[in-house]
Amino acid sequence: MPVIAGVGTAVPPHLITQNQCRDFARRLFGGAFRDIDRLLAVFESAQIETRHFAAPIEWFEASHSFAEKNTLYLTHAVKLAAEAIRACLQKTNLAPEDIDHLVFVSSTGIATPSLDAHLFNELGLRQNLKRTPIWGLGCAGGTAGLARGYDLALAHPGETVLVCALELCGLTFLHGDRSKSNLIATSLFADGCAAVLLLGDDAARQHPELAENAPRILGSASTIWPDTMDVMGWDVQEEGLKVVFSKDIPSIVESKIRPQIERFLQDQQLSRADLRAFIAHPGGMKVLQAYQEALDLPDELLHYSRTILRTHGNMSSCTVLFVLAQELQKPHQPGEHGLALSLGPGFSCEQVLLQW
């Protein structure tokens, strides 16, 4: 089965504290809500301390066109993705020309040629590189990208597959949007990038030092629920991408996630009690609490998800891969199982099962 050989991460240079974000939100949204102080409590309840952004906080004080934002997206995305990929390759002692297939995941900007083509030039990747750009999966994209990378490595056991998830959520901010959903998004979202290297069976045998003590991917599952299109996504407007973010997400987690996860684990002759790692995308503290209550999870299984949320915020698709990077630093006994899980637009759920 395909092996996760390593993970590299990168964040942009502008570190902004949650207190700075709250003060900014007070200035921007204060005139739109009489009960602004009550609403600003969300910045504390999010339990986020710091976040990274491609633009300084002063940039958010003014309105910007969709074209301007997307130009910045392209510039910063290529730089940040190249940094994450180089960090991943450095950990695995492989070179850019060793990559056979690049899966690139993003939902916060558009580019044609796609960003994988830009990275081909930036990194000096092979001319016969296979490329699979994935757009529009939002927060589910990191786990979905991992699952599609698994599919490719399973089908082509001699190949090395790189999955890169890049999101610049900050650049989608709509200065003129005074909605409550935009206020909530201002308390949560951030920028980042992560790259994961997968080895097919034959490729892993060629690099035994990378496969040793590394988790294998045993399988994946995708679920999309009917009539949930309005739960999460983008509403495209002249100024850019307006966030759609339903307050019902935690309740949906509580009602729908447990049977889906149990079904997937049962297909693998496992139960929730067999999991020694729960690599959950931290969409927010309420979502993590819903996971814990719905699945009866011990606190330690959500430790890394809470840590990444506290130090990086919600970086959409790549956040779960930051959690995975933390999990890979922890020693695991051979045979232990872990589950990567993300929710996203659709409304959908993506799962990947790991075994050390």
Residues recognised as catalytic: 139
- State how far the Cα of 343 lies from the Cα of 349, in Å rounded to an integer: 5
Q: Which of 253, 224, 234 is nearest to 181 (CA)?
A: 234
> 260, 223 in Cβ contact below 8 A?
yes
- Report the helix count and the strand count for the chain, using DSSP H and E: 13, 13
| Kind plus residue range of the DSSP H or E element containing 92 | helix 66-92
Q: Which residue type is seen at 213?
A: N
| Kind plus residue range of the DSSP H or E element containing 207 | none
List alpha helices for 235-335, DSSP H. 249-267, 285-295, 303-312, 319-328
- State how far the Cα of 21 lies from the Cα of 12, in Å rounded to an integer: 16
Residue 231: half-sphere exposure toward Cβ, Cα within 13 Å? 22
213: left (phi over 0), alpha (psi -120 to 50) or beta: left
Q: Which of 268, 278, 350, 281 is nearest to 315 (CA)?
A: 281
For 180, phi then psi, to 5°, come to -65, -35
